[in-house]
Structure 1
Amino acid sequence: MTATDRVTIPAEHRRDVECLWHYHQLGHDLHPVDVGIGLGSHDLGVAKVATDLYHRGMYPLLVFTGANAPTTIDRFPRGEAVHYREHALTNGVPDDAILIETEATNTGENITNTRRLLAEHGVHPRSVILMSRPYQQRRAYATAKKLWPEVDITCASHPLTFDDYVSSIGDADKVINMLVGDTQRIHKYAELGYAIPQEVPEAVTAANARLINAGYTNRLVK
């Protein structure tokens, strides 16, 4: 990637966007677990980190979960989990080490459907690594702890710097809108009983409010 290829965040919003970016990443220490789970999205980085961690011996079995959403249908027309599996196979993960779940359209369904799929294969993990977009870590963790509380959960994402991540997606507005939407969901989904509550610092709430006022509202839930 050259300097001319880089996608940048508007300068007036950078501090607020970075505040949200750091809030959503949990910084978990990785250790070997029973199963790796890659959550479908528009971000192929999920498949990349899942493949890397398999080769590092972090788990013997990998599940990719995800159908399609409006933000992924063009990039992954055969479905998120299918494209993730193809990436893993191309990069040396054996076919018998991968399961795919192709119906989930939200994080709750990712967890519920994956749990059911594993049970159908006689797998009842005590520990998992959840792999997601960097700014989905906190919401994924909160959702999984609500729906699968007995399992030890570690979160991971493709290790890119903030600027490199934005450039890898190629659309700064999309990243900001997704960050704002995920921050709102931390509150909203806990209130609705979809996830466990998470502490939200005042600085994060204020940053999200400023970005909403600036028009980044495409991913807000009603």
Structure 2
Amino acid sequence: MSDIQQAITENQRRQAKLIWDFHQMGHALRPVDVAIGLGSHDLGVATHSAELYRAGLFPALVFTGGNSPTTAKVFPRGEAVRFREHAIGLGVPAKSILVEPNAANTGQNITLSREVLAQGGITPTTVLLVSKPYMERRSFATARKVWPDVEIICASEPLEFDDYLKSIGDEKLVLDMLVGDLQRVIEYPNLGFAIEQEVPEDVREAYESLIQDGFTSRLIS
């Protein structure tokens, strides 16, 4: 067993898998008016966006995101700019990609992308959000709150949990992110940032256990 595989215990892995499964929406993919690739540290978002474009699911794609503490060093010119370059390298025509380079959170990802689309003369009724696998539910809840008049479908790289851990190479970071995203799913409706969603009891218990184990670096105070 490698050092990476030993970074978390089997119990923590099981708890994280519960949260991972909950975060994914399980939406069936179909053609939409536009896709929005949500910026992050995970270049797989851009890879999957390019795959879905080549599959003919949408004619236009927005990459959105400036920088965060997690991405400033790896994507110094910004998440959206780097995602665009990656997608072009995978065969997406530059003319089909719009860039929103300023968003600093998921709400801004959605609202600023909407503005960029409007400036380009695009008023969609169906939108595909492409995100990290564990960000589907939060991005869905946010979009339903700030853009309620469009139909939202979520997508992410079709990776199994263990494969995603290996692809990132930092198990603690992934578990911190899983816990942080679930906290936002729980708390953001009370702050007016997202629609409310029911969280199953076993998922809440896994969340609380991982917090007790110290996976807290992405929690908001």
| TM class by smaller structure | over 0.9
Work out whether residues 40 and 80 of structure 1, in 8 Å CA contact, stay in contact via their aligned partners in 2. yes
Does the Cα contact within 8 Å between 1:7 and 1:171 map onto a contact in 2? Answer: no
1:27 is paired with a residue of what secondary structure?
coil
Q: How many residues align?
A: 220
Letter in structure 1 aligned against 2:82:
H
SS at match of 2:84: helix
Give the structure 2 partner of residue 138 of structure 1.
Answer: 137
**Cα deviations by residue, 1:81-104 (Å, 9 ceiling, x for unpaired):** 011000111111101000000000
What is the aligned-residue RMSD (CA, Å)? 1.2
User: What amino acid is aligned across from residue 68 of structure 2 in structure 1?
Assistant: A
Query: Are positions 1:114 and 2:125 aligned together?
Result: no
Partner of 1:42: 41
Amino-acid identity (%): 55
Structure 2 residue aligned with 1:72: 71
Aligned partner of 1:194 in structure 2 is 193
Report the alpha carbon displacement of residue 4 of structure 1 after superposing the two structures with TM.
4.8
Structure 2: unaligned runs, 5 residues or longer: none
Q: Residue 25 of structure 1 aligns with which residue? A: 24
| 1:140 alignment partner AA | S
What's the TM-score once normalised by structure 1's chain length?
0.96
Distance 2:216 2:131 in 1: 22
| Aligned position for 2:52 | 53
Question: TM-score normalized by structure 2?
Answer: 0.97
Greater mean deviation of Cα atoms: 204-213 or 8-17: 8-17
Matched residue, 1:176: 175
Moved over 2 A (4+): 3-10
Aligned to 1:94: 93
* CA 1:100–1:214: 2 relative to 1, 3 Å: same
User: CA–CA distance in 2 between the matches of 1:7 and 1:105?
Assistant: 32
* TM-aligned CA distance change 1:5 to 1:211, over 3 Å: closer
Q: How far off is 1:5 after superposition?
A: 8.4
CA distance in 2, matches of 1:6, 1:155: 29
Shift of 1:124: 0.4
CA distance in 2, matches of 1:158, 1:105: 22
Q: One-letter code of the match for 1:113?
A: L
Secondary structure in structure 2 of the residue aligned to 1:185: helix
In 2 relative to 1, CA 15–85 (structure 1 residues): closer, same or farther, beyond 3 Å?
same
Q: CA deviation at 1:78?
A: 1.1
Does structure 1 retain, via aligned residues, the 8 Å contact 2:39–2:63?
A: yes
What's 1:160 paired with? 159
